[in-house]
Structure 1
Amino acid sequence: MNIRKGNKKITSSQKTVVILATMDTKGVECDFLRKEIQSLGFNAFLIDISVVGVTNIEVNIYKDEVALEGGSSMAALLEHPSRQEGSEVMVKGSIKLMNQLIANQKVDAIVSLGGTQGTNNGCKVMQALPYAFPKLMVSTMASGDTSAFVGIKDITMMFSVSDILGLNPFFRRILSNAAGAACGMAESYQKIKFAEGKPIVGISNLGVLTQGTVKAIELFKQRGYESIVFHAIGSGSRAMEQMMKDGIITAVFDYGLGDIADALYDGVRAADVERLTVAGKLGLPQVIVPGGIDHIGILLDEPNTVPEKYKNHQYSYHNPVIFVPRTNGDEMIVIMTEISKRLAHSKTKTVFMLPTKGVSSYSAADGDLFDPKSDHVLQLAVKKLLPKTIELIEMDNNAEDTAFVEKAVDTLISLIEA
């Protein structure tokens, strides 16, 4: 029979871990996980997101309520059962319920478990939760490419090794480990706290700009500003811009734009279509440097080889399987055209800074991809294509030179404090 003895009230002072799963097929495992969490001195709060099957364990929020929060009813979902429709409704309802619990400071972590569908649904819910709220997914899918499940959120993926289908001595230990991990994260959970009244600076970075980024972090700190650095390889840039939307980041030193180059030339660091538009739309102060567009990151099928397409380019290797061809003059124009198009949203508080002696360590005078002719083409393209609403500062430096980084930091702070 379906057990409906749920208790949605959380009154204990103990910290609470949510268990989110299809309790019809994962009930035995979730009940064991609950007991493990409780044995560690924490509350366990079960949310059932099953649809078709029968739930035989006690839960805190039953599937009927999840469906209602998701904009449907269990009766409607069961008229013509559809995995896709059921998942959409239950995910939507779970997101709403979880964010209410988090906003009211009722829960401290979430753990979910599942196979292909369960991982997809559990992670969709977690992707909609705030950054830094502890999220653990115990999954049969966790040893493969988990990028679609993790997205740009801080989800911890734990490989279940065996299928999640009944208890045995091995899987009991896996669930016990999961309980320990979730409770540990709940116990150590700290709210994000920043200096009052001081904007948080988001910095995009690439490995070929790291020395400049380290210097920028120091300079911002000396002036009383904290910063968060993001690896500009697609997912990192998306996370930075999501934090702008969330109000966490309120000023930007966009130092690495190699993901724009890769988006145009099928590189491994490719940005999405929204990249470099968010700060402008929000009106955030930003200093932009075309750092890292002097090369593309190409993932090789065979280590240390040269793709036919790039045999006439200067090239190097970031590592044995990441091939980095130099972007020539024509490619620089294409990349700058795209950058300018995306910056059309930036009407105020935006400065574009161009180092004329190379936009990364690769194109410095002693770098593997030194090519002053292509750099000169970039300079001309910037002057021609950059939107007139954006101030341009050119400096006779490499992007990592101390003088250039100091000027970038000073410029951004002047935009912040204007």
Structure 2
Amino acid sequence: MSVIIIGTLDTKAAEIGFARDILNAKGLDVHVVDTGVMEDPDIEPDTTAETVAEAGGASLSALRERGDRGEAMEVMGDGAASVVTRLYEEGTLDGVLGLGGSGNTSIATAAMRALPYGVPKLMVSTMASGDVRPYVESRDIMMLYSVADIEGLNQLSRLVISNAALAMVGMVTNDPGIEVEDKPTIGITMFGVTTPCVKTVRAYLEERGYETIVFHATGTGGQAMENLVEEGVIDGVLDVTTTEWADELVGGVLSAGPERLDAAGKTGTPQVVSTGALDMVNFGARDDVPDEFQNRHLHVHNPQVTLMRTTPDECAELGRIIAEKLNAATGPTALALPLGGVSLLDVEGEDFYDPEADQALFDALRATLDDHVELIEVDADINDDGFAETMAAKLDEYMRAAELAPASSDD
């Protein structure tokens, strides 16, 4: 078993050497990748900073001469990603451990994000107590707060680094004994306000022999599903909850980026898409809502989450965007419209009930959608069992036609 340690040997050699020695003592091979730019390393690496820089498209001497920290971080991040990808493909990488401040956290996590899901990835970082989304994105990276700066070995840093090294030992040397069944896998998106719908579609699909993976549509959730579709892990998509596009358009905190809804279309993956939670944009605590939105229709979901109702104009634009995304799909695609409301809050008597806004959304979708995208309209809200089963049945039909369904789904 081999663990890769990524770190800047010009500034963190003692700490990296300490982690290496613990791993070696537990019988693991260790490969140290040097990402230090400014000085020569204080211990000998297995992959030099020169090699990392060249893999990232620049020479180490040029980076030193220019002295542009931002450029150096980008180059070394790209280079480290290239190096660890090669080591993984060669079969000499079983886990990755990173140590550092903001600079090497950026570099090491860029490398970790290049690796498949399931490969152990652990970052000991001074940045792990704050917003880690820029480092983790949608990958399975563990962040361990270093508490003190990673600057010299002391009673605290030894304890934290030891825990990290031993955690890596546990991950790479223990077989969890998980049996993976060879079932077609369906990716499903969910929000709290579309949970009843997702529970119904899960039950429907699992009864027919599919495996389901549910993604919380919090930005990174949508990104994770898109990544897994591209990697071929997901065979079909039931995109119940496209709310991340509302945040992308209006400026909420849970955007999945402008590529959301691209992966299934590009790969030809069968997909059934709906309009779940497009009635809302997400922000943090009530006091943190931007000033420009303070006079909008807000709903305090909990002390940490405030929702804002989308307007008719915003809904119309969302309809156009989503329709254009689906129009570009190369595989079987359906759009299912719940005419009675797009979330638990968007039904008569609830706080976000707004037929005018919903109508603007549906009209824009109908007007923009191409004929090759199947349009399904149901006079019920999104959490109605009949609507949920209609979506699930359509996806099952697509999967069977593409010969991707389990045998039991033909019963």
Same fold, TM-score > 0.5, yes or no: yes
Give distance in 2, aligned partners of 1:296 and 1:394. Answer: 24
2:249 to 261, 264, 280: 264
Q: Does the aligned pair in 1 maintain the 2:327–2:373 contact within 8 Å?
A: no
Structure 2 counterparts to residues 161-240 of structure 1, below 5 A? 161-188=147-174, 195-196=181-182, 198-240=183-225
8 Å Cα contact 2:219-2:256 kept in structure 1: yes
C-alpha distance in structure 2 between counterparts of 1:79 and 1:307, whole Å: 44
The residue aligned with 1:59 is: 45
Q: Describe the SS at the equivalent of 2:393.
A: helix
Q: Are 1:400 and 2:386 counterparts?
A: no
Equivalent position to 1:339, from 322, 335, 341: 322
Distance (whole Å) between structure 1 residues aligned to residue 109 and residue 256 of structure 2 = 22
For 1:385-396, what aligned pairs fall within 5 Å after superposition? 385-396=368-379
Shift of 1:68: 4.2
> What code does the residue aligned with 1:327 have?
T
Residues 217-249 of structure 1 show CA distances to partners (whole Å, capped at 9, x for unaligned) of 222211111122112122211121111111112
Give how far 1:102 is off: 1.6
Distance 1:350 1:99 in 2: 34
| Contact in 2 for aligned 1:16/1:45 (Cα 8 Å) | yes
Question: What CA deviation, in whole Å up to 9, does each residue of 1:43-99 have, x standing for no partner?
Answer: 322222223323232433333433444445545555555544544443333222211
| Alignment-derived partner of residue 159 in structure 1 | 145
Deviation at 1:179, TM superposition (A): 0.7
Unaligned runs of 5+ in 1: 1-14
Deviations 1:94-117 (A, max 9, x none): 222211222233221111111121
**Structure 1: how far apart are the matches of 2:304 and 2:14?**
44
1:121 maps to 2:110: no
- Match in the other structure for 2:405: none
CA RMSD of aligned residues (A): 2.6
Output the TM-score relative to the length of structure 2: 0.89
How far, CA to CA, are the matches of 2:205 and 2:174 in structure 1? Answer: 28
Tell whether 2:234 aligns with 1:249: yes
Change (3 A) 1:365 1:79: closer
1:331 to 1:88, Cα distance in 2 relative to 1, 3 A: closer
Would you say the 8 A contact 1:348–1:390 is kept in 2?
no
Which segment drifts farther, 215-224 or 126-135? 215-224
Query: CA–CA distance in 2 between the matches of 1:169 and 1:298?
Result: 40
* TM-score computed with the length of structure 1 as normaliser: 0.87
Contact 1:347 1:390 in 2 (8 A): no
Map 1:405-416 to 2 at 5 A: 405-416=388-399
State the partner residue of 1:8: none
Pair 377,21 (structure 1): closer, same or farther in 2 beyond 3 Å: closer
Residue 9 of structure 2 corresponds to residue 20 of structure 1: no
**How many residues are treated as equivalent by the alignment?**
401
Q: Does 1:384 align with 2:374?
A: no
Alignment of 1:28-107 (within 5 A): 28-74=14-60, 77=63, 82-107=68-93
> Do the aligned partners of residues 268 and 77 (structure 1) sit closer, same or farther apart at CA in structure 2, a change above 3 Å counting?
closer
- Contact 2:80 / 2:110 at 8 angstroms: preserved in 1? no
1:292–1:359 CA contact under 8 A, matched in 2: yes
